[in-house]
Amino acid sequence: MEHRDDIGAKLGMWVFIFTEILLFGGLFLVYAVMRSRYSTDFHHAAHHLNAFIGAINTVVLLVSSATVAMSITAVQKGNTKLAVNLLLLTLLCAAVFMVNKYFEWGHKIHIGLYPGSDLMITLNHGEVMFFSLYFFMTGLHMLHLIIGGIILTIVLVKVRSGTINANRYVLMENGGLYWHLVDLIWIFLFPLLYLIT
């Protein structure tokens, strides 16, 4: 009973993307409430974030969105080798992002700026809220980045084996869509956390 419906598959993926946006939406709601309540503290606390590294991460993710989109076009044109290489490039970008994040978080944890730390309890309420939001939102984003990486790895395997090919690539489109979501969430996080100084 081979039932193939590419339009249905894409519709399902779009609905799922919508639910992910709403999931993060709850956090953006908390951000909005806390920032309107503690706007000065947020402004001060944001100075602890390195906007340069944040900008690099933004560029890295934008590039990765481009490479994954290009790899889909490569599959559509039957160029498996190019598609695989572009997917590998995408995953490399993801790795770079994670390494940057590791250093960012590592530094903050090292100087005691993390939820529940002794230092955190001494800070102003607004600053505590800012850092809590920073860790929760970037942490949840990181989780989705890892999930996206796993999805794209599965796609890569299937492109190499030929399961995904020029006549059958909806799985890859859906995977790419998920990756674009991960990118989009970061595009919102970056200015809200890093650029409010």
Partner 1 sequence: MTEEITHHPEPSYLVDTGKRKGLMAWLTSTDHKRIGLMYLFAIMVFFVIGVILGEMMRLELFWPGQQFYGPQTYNGLFTIHGIIMIFTVVIPGLSVVFGNFFLPILIGAKDVAFPRLNLFSFYLFILGAAIAVSSQFMGNGPPDTGWTFYAPYSIRTHTNVVAAVFGAFVLGFSSILTGLNFIVTIHRMRARGMTFFKMPLFPWAVYATSWIQVLATPIVGITLLMIIAERWLRIGFFDPALGGDPILYQHLFWIYSHPAVYIMILPAMGVITEIIPTFAQRNVFGYKAIAFSSLAIAGVGYFVWAHHMFTSGMSVSARWIFSLLTFLVAIPSAIKVFNWVTTMYKGSIDVKPPLLFALGFIWLFMIGGMTGLTLGSLAINVHVHDTAYVVAHFHYIVFGGVGFAFFAAVHYWYPKMFGRMYNFKRANWAFVFLFVGFNLLYFPQFIIGYMGMPRRYFDYLPQYTFGHQLSGLGGLLLGIGVIIMLQNLFSKKGAKAPDNPWGGNTFEWRIASPPTVENFDELPEMGENDRPYDYK
- In the complex, the residues that contact partner 1 under the rule CB under 8 A are 1, 3, 5, 7-8, 11-12, 15-16, 18-20, 22-27, 29-30, 33-34, 38, 115-116, 120-121, 124-126, 128-129, 132, 135-136, 140
Closest CB 44 distance from partner 1, rounded Å: 14
DSSP string, the chain: -----HHHHHHHHHHHHHHHHHHHHHHHHHHHHHHHHSHHHHHHHGGGS-HHHHHHHHHHHHHHHHHHHHHHHHHHTT-HHHHHHHHHHHHHHHHHHHHHHHHHHHHHHHTT-STT-HHHHHS-HHHHHHHHHHHHHHHHHHHHHHHHHHHHHHHHHHHHHTSSBTTB-HHHHHHHHHHHHHHHHHHHHHHHHHS--
Closest CB 15 distance from partner 1, rounded Å: 5
User: In this complex, which beta carbon is closest to partner 1, that of residue 108 or of residue 160?
Assistant: 108
User: In this complex, which beta carbon is closest to partner 1, that of residue 128 or of residue 164?
Assistant: 128
Closest CB 38 distance from partner 1, rounded Å: 7
Closest CB 116 distance from partner 1, rounded Å: 4
